[in-house]
Amino acid sequence: MKLELKMPKTDPEDILPFLARNSRWLFIVLFIVAALFGVWEWYRNVCKGDWSEEEKLRYAETAFRETEFREQAFDDAVLSIRDMAASHEREADAQRDLFQVLPGSERQDR
């Protein structure tokens, strides 16, 4: 006995009317599936989130390493801000006055 698999012949013209007729139910089913998946993931992460002692220790070490105070970088940032504030307080020397009339460019009445 020979087993032959035949693919059903479906045309896109047959699928699109089905989707158009049943789009509301299809959307509701997909929405419910997505909501149930989200609730399941939330439950699994919040209620079943048991960590081993090694994982807890590794998390605590990385959290401390990421949040430790870097005094030298902080002092450099404060010094940079103070330098910028001092440069803004200095009086700027205007190289050229834009509103001064240059000789020879006066308006001549005709």
Q: Could you give the residue ranges of the DSSP H alpha helices within the chain?
A: 12-21, 23-46, 53-67, 71-89
Q: Tens of pLDDT along 75-87? A: 999 999 999 888 8
| Stated pTM of the model | 0.37
Q: What are the φ and ψ backbone dihedral angles of 22, each rounded to 5 degrees?
A: -110, 25
Each residue of 11-64: pLDDT tens digit?
777 777 888 888 899 999 999 999 999 999 998 888 877 778 888 889 888 888
